[in-house]
Amino acid sequence: MSTHVSHAHKKKNILWDYLTTVDHKKIAILYLFAGTLFLLIGGIEAILMRLQLMVPENDLFVGTTFNQLLTMHGTTMIFFAAMPLVFALMNAAIPLQIGARDVAFPFLNSLGFWLFFFGATLTNISWFTSGGAPEIGWTAYAPLALPEYTGTGSDYYVLGLQLSGAGTLIGGINFLVTIINMRAPGMTFMRMPLFTWTSFVISALILFAFPPLTVGLFLMMFDRLFGANFFDVTMGGNVIIWEHLFWIFGHPEVYILILPAFGVFSEVIPTFSKKRLFGYHSMVFATTLIAFLSFMVWVHHMFTVGLGPVANSIFAVATTAIAVPTGIKVFNWLFTMWGGRIQFTTANMWALGFIPSFVMGGVTGVMLALPPADFQFHDSYFVVAHFHYVILGGVVFGLFAGLYYWWPKMFGTLLNEKLGKLHFWLMFIGFHMAFLPQHWLGLMGMPRRVYTYLEGQQLDTWNYVSTIGALIMGVATIVFAINIVMTFVKGEKAPADPWDGRTLEWSIPSPPPEYNFKQTPLVKGIDAFWIEKMQGNKEMTPAEPLGDIHMPSPSILPFIMSLGFFIASFGFIYHVLPVIIIGMGIGLGSMLARSLKDDLGYHIHTDELQEKGV
Amino acid sequence: MLARLQLFGFNELWNPILIVITVVLAIAYLVITGPMRHRFTDAGPVPIYKKVLFLFGLLLFYITLGPLNLIGHLMFSAHMTKQALLYLVMPPFIFLGSPEWFYKPFLKVEPLKKVVRVLTHPFASVAFFNVLFSLYHLPIVLDFIMTNYALYNLYHDILLISAFMMWWPFFCPIPELNRVSELKKLALIFANSVLLTPACALIIFAGEPMYATYTDPVVWSQALSLCLPFSSTLDVSGFGGPQLFALFPPLQDQQLGGVIMKIMQEIVNGTVLGIIFFQWIRSERARENKLASDNRMVISPATGQNEV
Amino acid sequence: MKKGNLWRLLFLVSTLALVLTGCGDPELSALDPKGTGADMQLDLIMLSLYIMLGVMAVVIVIFTYVLIRYRQRPGDNHIPKQVEGNTKLEIIWTVIPIILLIILAVPTVYQTFVLAEDAAETTEDPVEIKVTAHQYWWEVEYPEYEIVTAQDIYIPAGERVHIELTSVDVIHSFWVPALGGKMDANPGLVNEMWLEAKQPGTYKGKCAELCGASHAKMDFKVVALERDQFEKWVADMKEPAPEPTTVSAQEGKQLFENNCMACHATDAGQKSLGPNLNGIADRKTIAGFMDNDKENLEKWITDPAARDVKPGSSGPKGMPAFHDKLTEEEISKVAEYLQTLTIE
Amino acid sequence: MSDTHVQTSTSLPPEPEKATMEGRNKFLGFWLFLGAETVLFASLFGTYLGLRNSTNGGPTTQELFSLPMVFVATVILLVSSLTSVLAIQAMHRNNMKGLQFWFGVTVLLGFSFLGLEIYEFVEYVHHGHTFTSSAFGSAFYTLVGFHGGHVLFGVLWILVLQLQGIKKGLTVVTAPKYYVASLYWHFVDLVWVFIFTVVYLMGKVG
Ligand code: HEA
Ligand code: HEA
Ligand code: CUA
Ligand SMILES: [Cu+2]
């Protein structure tokens, strides 16, 4: 066995390169594009729904069709758009922020992506099948999701989520290990950038929250495909079990989405206020506390199920408690800006727009958490308004902030600031216009998930306004798309440190070389790069001499493995045994192949490094 | 209900023997941390707040094993309150209240040290306590244990010991034995919360009263007579059933019990999370300062980086 | 800075607009409560709303101030002082929210228990109503009066009635915003709640849990009557319907007995696969949402699952379309017959 | 990162499974994975406890379970846990033969456990207790079956590692694999102890 497996660095075509890559920076780009694609799909679904609801008794999308739209919109947005976009940023930034050359499990990283991608594709393929898309809401409550009531769409939902959920779990473990084991010398936990911290915490949440979903999906799958009776009341089943399992997962899931966004803001706001983050330690603590509490509140989605006043009260109190750590964060951001020098870059605009929008959504969350009030709010448009405020005003704004902020690091080009600001303003206005009126709609008696409403219930005006808002968001998205295309066509080249950044990722070239850091940096405190800059250094102090760098080899196996499970899923849905066997064979076979063949990787030698002269 | 408690005598309700034990323990503590301190090596003075913590722990000890123990046989929610206080709240207070030097002599004894080491293996002890605790609350197990004197005492002693073992890694009084990193402690707290959830959830969401001890008059009075202090001669068979004392209907009482357990545990774990976290910050600061002075990596005051 | 103002403007405008348009449909809106439950709920909503507006105000004020005061001005390149934190401030913004939450928690817990009370707590011998949800209609049963009906729930005003909720197929949710919040109807389980209308009137009810294609149209009504009126209604319900007088209605009756009786009973005490049609002529609506007139009856019988009626409602347990079984004329006769099924 | 070089020398470090960064990552990652598995089984246990009395008129737990057989299965699994410990100890002594032998025994025991389980299931089916006969049936077979699936995966995995070991020997690359596989095996055994207590013992008593 030779240690000199020479440089597998031949030029390959781009497609093959991306299919086989195990480089976290490229995987980030894969996540980014897949996530954006599904964001567009989910957005179009949203706009179609809003068109149907624009006027009373409209008949554009009626009954099942509308239910399919809303199910696919919710599912796509949460699982196939927001999650991968979060993972895109994590992949792009975390290894760079902690001064690592790579993630802990490059191979698994790629596997995680492909599992997600095939899962998402699977679910979306349902549109083109005779059974149609799932029509059960993103929460897929039993027994509506049982074969007695709905067709193969529900199977697509179950299997698609199962696949992509496995991918997410793998991703979570990868990031946990990466952050625990791969930090550069001096990068103690209490010096980690906040985005890394929040990502670390959500990875732990993923670890604990996804298995209940997995189990729930298995039970549902067994009920649907193999005649089990978990949710079949006539055979002794219990429909509430699904609700518990789903929300034990579902509630932490919303924090899995929002915490990384919080992390992004904690990077963006200090950078563009030219000030270190106010109350760093309490920020970290608030993050862990939110994560801790997030497992104790799932019943607030089930206040009307009839669990009794004792359970309701207690989960109410536990839920409202989350306002405290969240409030700590909000005020810390405000006081980061206090006394700073605030620059209105596009990235920062998103962060600034986030603060009032999210707080607005957060406080309606607290209102929802009061059971007597929730008896009115629950399953009404008030809830829809709440979660779009936190999700759009929090998660989506966070993703955009992160994207405008790290785009130069990811692609080496700068997005156009003018278009960026236009994108922001259209989105901001459209967003408030679309969702603020939905609060009133809910209180005025409009249930959610209805494909229409009757005339003469005074619901017309606000629905109309809401739809206009959604259309404006659509225009905003088109502006964003133009910006991206323009940047690819003739983007401004980005310097290594375009924003006068504070953390390690800005100390290396944009885009970074495949090995990230030529020499692992030595970290001397919070905002490591800022410290160096303040000491007059242009670069980080290295923690090791220049030496050979070991890199993992690319591999097509993750793709093939995921493809195998993807194929097998069709076998399950249509009860075709050979297809199941072939698919599982491919999947397990590539697992075996991976286990048998050790990846020795390759080395980049010192002379090459010097040649590149970075 | 409180008035009905008069049916029990002073002896049954207040358990004088336990008072004596508690007082003796308190005096012993005060003597050891006070006049007898100098018998111990490296024995620094014990600050007042520590003494208060310890004595509060002892107070909890008495309340839970005394009056609450009795009421806990009448009402499930009181039973859960007792357990939460005894296993989740009391041990941290005892640990926080006892000075480091107090343990040292014991742990000098090599075999003892080994035993402690094994018993307090962080993940194992957390798992052990939670499993033991969850098992206890399975209806059959609880009903069985509650009506069996020897078993009852044995199980509770083991639970109490395992609770101390579980808390040890978090509050380990002796730095040398502290082998768990702060990150792991955080993970342990998470694991702790997760592990207890199924038991609580099953109790909270059960659709009907599950424990014969709190619903069936025969089992009830059997269990009750066992829990009376052994100096008691009260005959409870004439009391009728649990309904006599109940504040709530059995189902709500049971739910409340589960909820109390859950909420107490959340508060305790949340607090401990905070304590660990701020210890962590402090130790990192200390390390940073030490590094700074060792390596002369002084951070320039111009940047204001390390302003506190 | 611009952002802050804009946001406030938006907020103001919409609040204003809300005031101008009123609080919605008085038979439907939770903002215009007509029941004791909804009253309590609105009180809590308003209390929480005030607290939340206060929180918002604080955040917006600081936010706006910071953006104006500390925005980068041209030519300014100073490096701000790098502040690590401020314990006192941090304690303040931890403690104040805790206090606010405690203020909220007290009435919340209290009301949660009040809403879970037995109706008998305030009303002696409350009316018992069993509501069973079906895809997509509501069956209503008064066990003590031996009445079975559907869609319209009659209750005496000024009293708490006791409601038992369950479902025979999927999960539905029972919501009468103007009277009081909702409760799920779960298959295999029974939920209890109380409802009290302060004054007589008709209140709109909705199904609030996604239950299939026509979830949007699973409406119902709660009709509150003065006690004596209510008792009269009970008595009337038990009277057999008058025999149809016109020839076409009599033919309609014949057709009904041949085609519809398998699923629809017409005498008060009897349960049937579909809604009991006793008194259908006096229902507020047909199938929960359509104006009660002959045209709509015909439309319904012709094809209940039509796109503009109740899509998806002709499933295995639903009502079949009759356009290929009966002629238009026959359907018209059946409708005429149905219109004779009054209770007065 | 020079410690990631592949060592082929016969002198292994004392804890070969943690000698390289990859090894340490694998080690930690696997522990985390087991954490996720724990939550997975906890959810399954919760479901089972919620449904175990919903027999839908079929046989109840008391009528079904035969403790002696389950007890034998338990002993088999516990012994296999012990043999896998012996295997790892052999590995730490750099004794490839011992490693292979004890893992071999472990695999055999695993297969006999599976055999017993299949036999047991067949028995139950004869008593009318099937996957589709009631909610209890579904919950029972899902929980116990999931565990059975884990056992099956475990034996196959160890088998593959053994075959690989014949070719590759004991290196810092293969050592973490053995170690992780034995961790997995312990975990699977531990889950069984819970199944034994919660499903069988409690099913028999209450
Ligand atoms: C990113 C996603 C996200 C986030 C962050 C949140 C945050 C919160 N959510 Fe939300 N929620 C959702 C996504 C999210 N939610 C979704 C998707 C649903 C619907 C699911 C479905 O049914 O389809 C939902 C539904 C939902 C419900 C169920 C409603 C129902 O169906 O009846 C409830 C009830 O308690 C709730 C509560 C809360 C609370 C208390 C918070 C808190 O975390 C908010 C905390 C923040 C603040 C409070 C603001 C800042 C704080 C201060 C400025 C300090 C001072 C404040 C006070 C003293 C109040 N949410
Ligand atoms: C990440 C989560 C996320 C996001 C970003 C959004 C974004 C939006 N959502 Fe949605 N939504 C959910 C999560 C999300 N939503 C969930 C979980 C539900 C519950 C589902 C359920 O009940 O089960 C829900 C439900 C939901 C409803 C309620 C449906 C009902 O109950 O009947 C509505 C109604 O207005 C709605 C609207 C919108 C709108 C207008 C947007 C807008 O922000 C969208 C803006 C548009 C775009 C971002 C893309 C526009 C694209 C184009 C214009 C095409 C351009 C094309 C090219 C360039 C090729 N959403
Ligand atoms: Cu019934 Cu929605
Ligand atoms: Cu939630």
pLDDT at residue number D6: 40
Number of B/D CB contacts below 8 angstroms equals 17
Question: Is A588 within the bounds of a domain?
Answer: no
Strand pairing report for C128-134 and C161-167: parallel
pLDDT digits (tens, 9 = 90+) for A69-78: 999 999 999 9
- CB of A158 sitting under 6 A from ligand 1: no
Which stretch of A334-348, B160-174, C129-143, D41-55 has the lowest confidence by average pLDDT? B160-174
Q: How far is C79 from chain B (nearest CA, A)?
A: 9
Contact status of B150 with chain C (Cβ, < 8 Å): no
Which residue in this structure is represented by tokens 């036999």? D119
pLDDT confidence tier of residue A3, bands split at 50, 70 and 90: very low
Least confident range of A296-305, B141-150, D164-173 = B141-150
Q: Tell me how far apart the alpha carbons of residues D162 and A272 are, in angstroms, rounded to a whole number.
A: 57
Least confident of A79-93, A150-164, B128-142, C17-31: C17-31
Pick from D28, D37, D39 the residue to mutate for testing the B interface (most B CBs within 10 Å): D39
Which of B123, B130, B135, B190 to mutate: most D Cβ within 10 Å? B135
Higher pLDDT, A571 or B146: A571
Residues A33-54: tens digit of each pLDDT: 999 999 999 999 999 999 999 9
What pLDDT score was predicted for residue A336? 94
User: What is the pLDDT at residue A588?
Assistant: 92
Higher pLDDT, A403 or B20: A403
| Average pLDDT taken over every residue of chain C | 89
Q: Which tens digits make up the pLDDT trace of B257-290?
A: 888 888 888 888 888 888 888 888 888 888 777 7
C247-338 has the same fold as C27-68+87-238: yes
Separation CA B59–CA B25 (nearest Å): 11
pLDDT at C86: 87
pLDDT at residue B222, as a whole number:
66
Buried b (16+ CB within 10 A) or exposed e, C247-281: ebbbbbbebbeebbeeebbbebeeebebbbbbbbb
Greater confidence (B292 vs A323) lies with: A323
Q: Please give the class, per CATH, of domain C247-338.
A: mainly beta
Strand C191-195: give its sheet, edge to edge: C147-150, C137-142, C128-134, C161-167, C191-195
Chains D and C touch (3+ CB pairs under 8 A): no
Bridge partners of C133, per DSSP, are C138, C167
The pLDDT of residue D4: 40
- Give the per-residue pLDDT at D3: 39
Task: Answer yes or no: is the C-beta of A383 below 6 A from any ligand 1 atom.
Answer: yes
* Whole-number Å distance between alpha carbons of D80 and D68: 18
B192 vs A97, higher pLDDT: A97
Q: Considering CB atoms only, which of D4, D21, D135 is closest to A229?
A: D135
Contact by Cβ (8 Å): A521, A543:
yes
- For D32, the closest chain B residue by CA position comes to B187
The superfamily CATH assigns to domain C27-68+87-238 is Cupredoxins -  blue copper proteins (2.60.40.420)
pLDDT exceeds 70 at position B253: yes
A360-364, B215-219, C113-117: least confident range:
B215-219
Name, in order, each residue with C-beta under 8 angstroms of C79's C-beta and a sequence gap of 6 or more: A274
Q: Which residue has better confidence, A388 or A63?
A: A388
Q: How far is CA D172 from the centre of its chain?
A: 24
Query: How confident is the model over A279-331, as pLDDT tens digits?
Result: 999 999 999 999 988 988 999 999 999 988 888 998 999 999 999 999 999 99
Question: Looking at residue C4, what is its pLDDT?
Answer: 55
CATH number of D15-205: 1.20.120.80
Tokens of C4: 């802050």
Percent of chain B with pLDDT over 70: 76
pLDDT over threshold 50, residue B198: yes
CB-neighbour burial class of residue A282 (10 A; exposed 0-12, middle 13-18, buried 19+) = buried
Q: Is the pLDDT of residue A164 over 80?
A: yes
B295 touching C, CB under 8 A?
no
pLDDT at B242: 57
Q: Is C172 in the pocket of ligand 3 (CB under 6 A)?
A: yes
Token pair listed for B3: 């008035």
- Residue range A434-438: average pLDDT? 94
- Closest ligand to C-alpha of residue C313 is 3
Q: Which residues of B touch C82 (CB under 8 A)?
A: 303-305, 307
| Whole-number average pLDDT of chain A | 92
Question: In this complex, do A239 and C188 lie within 8 Å of one another by their Cβ atoms?
Answer: yes
The answer, yes or no, to whether residue B159 has pLDDT greater than 90, is no
Q: How confident is the model at residue B301 (pLDDT cuts 50, 70, 90)?
A: very low
Q: Residue A358: pLDDT band by 50, 70, 90 thresholds?
A: very high
Q: Using 50, 70 and 90 to split pLDDT, how confident is the model at B54?
A: confident
Q: Tell me if C209 CB under 6 Å of ligand 3.
A: yes
Residue type, position A510, single letter? S
**Whether D1 and A169 lie within 8 Å, measured CB to CB:** no
| Structure-model confidence comparison of residues A249 and B36, the more confident one | A249
Which pLDDT tens digit goes with each residue over C195-226? 999 999 999 999 999 999 999 999 999 999 99
Distances (CA, A) of C53 to A447, A523, C97: 24, 44, 13
Query: A230–D51: do the CB atoms touch at under 8 Å?
Result: yes
Task: Please answer yes or no on whether D49 and B202 come within 8 Å at the CB atom.
Answer: yes
Q: C5-44: per-residue pLDDT in tens?
A: 666 666 666 665 555 556 778 888 888 899 999 999 999 9
Q: What is the pLDDT of residue B115?
A: 78
Between CA B43 and CA D182 the distance in angstroms is 46
> Which residues, including other chains, have CB under 8 Å from residue B114's CB and lie 6 or more apart?
none
Indicate if the pLDDT at residue D19 is higher than 80.
no
Res B300: pLDDT: 36
Determine the residue of A287, A387, A396 to mutate for testing ligand 1's pocket, defined as the one with the most ligand atoms within 8 A of the Cβ atom.
A387
Query: Domain coordinates of chain D in residue numbers?
Result: 15-205
Which band of pLDDT confidence, cut at 50, 70 and 90, is reported for residue D174?
A: confident
How far are the Cα atoms of A504, A544, C27, C44, C120 from residue A522, in angstroms, in the given order?
A: 10, 8, 69, 55, 72
Q: What are the pLDDT digits (tens) for D93-129?
A: 888 889 999 999 999 999 999 999 999 999 899 888 8
Residue A80 to residue A116: CA distance in whole angstroms? 8
User: CA nearest A573: which of A150, A18, A138, A113?
Assistant: A150
Using the Cβ of C306 and the Cβ atoms of chain A, whether some distance falls under 8 Å is answered with no
Pairing of strands C201-207, C191-195: unpaired
Least confident piece of the model among A254-263, A360-369, B248-257, B291-300: B291-300
Instruction: Residue B304: list chain C partners with CB under 8 A.
Output: 81-83
Q: Of all helices (H) and strands (E), which one includes residue C128?
A: strand C128-134
Q: What is the pLDDT of residue D187?
A: 93
- Mean pLDDT rounded to a whole number for chain D: 86
Q: How far is A203 from chain D (nearest CA, A)?
A: 11
Q: Which candidate in C82, C86, C94 is best for mutational testing of the B interface (most B CBs within 10 A)?
A: C82
Question: Which of A55, A64, A70, A467 has the most ligand 2 atoms within 8 A of CB, as the residue to mutate?
Answer: A70
CB contact under 8 A, A215 and D40: yes
Specify if A561 maps to a domain: no
What distance in angstroms lies between residue C216's CA and the mean position of ligand 3's atoms?
Answer: 7
| Interval C112-122: pLDDT, tens | 999 988 888 88
Say which residue, D181 or B299, is predicted with more confidence: D181
- Crossing angle of helices A24-53 and A397-411, in 10° steps, is 150
pLDDT of residue B304: 34
Closest alpha carbon within chain C to B306? C84
Q: Would the pLDDT of C3 be above 50? A: yes
pLDDT higher for D118 or B65? D118
Percent of chain C with pLDDT over 90: 61
Residues from chain A that touch D24, judged by Cβ atoms under 8 A, are 181
Task: Inform me whether the pLDDT recorded for C318 exceeds 90.
Answer: no
SS3 string, A252-304, reads HHHHHHHHHHHHHHHHHHHHHHCCCCCCHHHHHHHHHHHHHHHCCCHHHHCHH
d(C-alpha A321, C-alpha C108), whole Å: 14
Percent of chain A scoring above 90 in pLDDT: 77
Q: Give the C-alpha separation, B80 to B210, whole Å.
A: 14
pLDDT digits (tens, 9 = 90+) for C35-72: 999 999 999 999 999 999 999 999 999 999 999 999 99
Is pLDDT above 70 for A195?
Answer: yes
Is B304 an 8 Å CB contact of chain C?
yes
- pLDDT over 70, % of chain C: 94
> A90 lies in which domain range?
8-555+597-611
Contact between B198 and D42 using a beta-carbon 8 Å cutoff: yes
Q: Within an 8 Å CB–CB cutoff, is residue B297 touching chain A?
A: yes
Q: Which residues surround ligand 4, an ion (CB under 5 A)?
A: A 251
Judging contacts by C-beta atoms under 8 Å, the chain C residues touching residue A366 are 48, 52, 101, 104
pLDDT of residue B172: 74
pLDDT in tens, C268-277: 888 889 999 9
Residue with more model confidence, D6 or D103: D103
The distance from CA C280 to its chain's CA centroid, rounded to whole angstroms, is: 21
Measuring CA to CA, which residue among B279, B78, B85, B288 is closest to residue B169?
A: B279
Portion 479-508 of A in contact with C at CB < 8 A: none
Contact indicator for B92, B268 with CB cutoff of 8 Å: yes
- Over its C-alpha atoms, chain A yields an Rg (Å, rounded) of 24
Point out the ligand 3 atom lying closest to the alpha carbon of residue C172. Answer: 1
Q: Which has more confidence, A175 or B282?
A: A175
Q: How high is the pLDDT of residue B240?
A: 53
Atom of ligand 2 lying closest to residue A475 CA: 53
* B98-102 contacts at long range (C-beta below 8 A, 24 or more positions apart): B98/B29, B98/B50, B98/B54, B98/B173, B99/B33, B99/B43, B99/B44, B99/B46, B99/B50, B99/B173, B100/B173, B100/B174, B100/B175, B101/B40, B101/B41, B101/B42, B101/B43, B101/B44, B102/B32, B102/B33, B102/B40, B102/B173
Average pLDDT (A511-539) is 88
Whole-number Å distance, alpha carbon C50 to ligand 4 midpoint, is 22
**A102-111, A410-419, A572-581, D172-181: the lowest-pLDDT one:** D172-181
